[in-house]
Amino acid sequence: MLPIHEQFYSFQGEGNHAGRAAYFIRTFGCPVHCPWCDSAGTWHPDYIPEKIERISPADLASAAAATRAEFVVVTGGEPAIHDLRALVDALHVVGLKAHLETSGAFPIKGDFDWVTLSPKRWKLPLSSNLALADEFKIIVDSTDAIAAYTAILAAAESSEAPRKRPVWLHPEWSQRANGPILNAITDWVKQHGAPYRAGWQLHKPYQADLLDPKSAQAAPLGGDIGKGY
């Protein structure tokens, strides 16, 4: 049984699979606690309900299979704090690919078909997870964030057999109209080219996730350091 914050049908709004129909499973719990977290409902005491729903991997897979989703995104919080092997196996049984979105700071348990790794400076990714990632997502919350995170990711590429995996540069959503941050992303992509790509959270202006009534009410965007999110 897995502690589940929400599960809903939408489209993937980020990365290589943006725009594709996807079923989302968001687990409870996260020890990383980013100060701008936009899913604080998965861990912050102001938002966690008294009773957390626990659902079996088979039931989660069945709910996803009842949609036209092309794949399932397992996210959080930080989903890798849970043993996800049974969930991945259940998804594969019903013919669905399993994608993971993780900070990479905890061992990944499960044979995922796609891994999006978004490093966080508050708890750095494991080197073994850097090697597993299919794409990287950097959350740009300051103009110096790109250089700091790309230095971390440099350890992921072997000089003998480099893999040019996409590195998406996303403005932290509360900073999406911040000119210097947007310019920093633009300048970095123009100066460095591949594998860097400018990113955006397409599902948010669409409000696509909210169209599914099973989607949980969003916690307010981060930025209140006093509350830790």
Which residues contact residue 67 at a Cβ distance below 8 angstroms, ignoring those fewer than 6 apart? Answer: 9, 21, 23
The predicted structure's pLDDT at residue 159: 45
Element (H, E) at 181: helix 179-192
pLDDT grade for 226, boundaries at 50, 70 and 90: low
The predicted structure's pLDDT at residue 48: 78
Instruction: For residue range 149-159, list pLDDT tens digits in order.
Output: 999 888 666 54
DSSP state of 160: S
Higher pLDDT residue, 156 or 103? 103
Q: How far apart, in whole angstroms, are the C-alpha atoms of residue 153 and residue 168?
A: 12
Phi-psi region of 74 (alpha: psi -120 to 50; beta: other; left: phi over 0): beta
For 87, the domain range is 2-227
Instruction: For residue range 110-165, list pLDDT tens digits in order.
Output: 999 999 999 999 999 999 999 999 999 999 999 999 999 999 888 666 544 456 89
Q: Tell me which residue of 79, 28, 87, 83 sits closest to 62, measured CA to CA.
A: 87
C-beta separation of 20 from 227 below 8 A:
no
| Total Cβ atoms within 10 A of residue 58 | 15
Which residues contact residue 18 at a Cβ distance below 8 angstroms, ignoring those fewer than 6 apart? Answer: 11, 12, 202
Instruction: Determine if the peptide bond prior to 222 is cis (ω within 30°).
Output: no
pLDDT grade for 220, boundaries at 50, 70 and 90: low
Q: Judging by beta carbons within 10 Å of its beta carbon (0-12, 13-18, 19+), is residue 3 exposed, middle or buried?
A: middle
Q: Over 50: is that where the pLDDT of 190 sits?
A: yes
Mean residue pLDDT across the chain? 91
The predicted structure's pLDDT at residue 86: 98
The predicted structure's pLDDT at residue 97: 98
Instruction: For residue range 7-55, list pLDDT tens digits in order.
Output: 999 999 999 999 999 999 999 999 999 988 888 889 988 887 788 899 9
Count of the separate structural domains present in the chain = 1
Residue 165's CATH number: 3.20.20.70
The predicted structure's pLDDT at residue 202: 95
Sign of CA dihedral 34, 13, 153, 186: negative
DSSP state of 123: B
Q: Structure pTM? A: 0.93
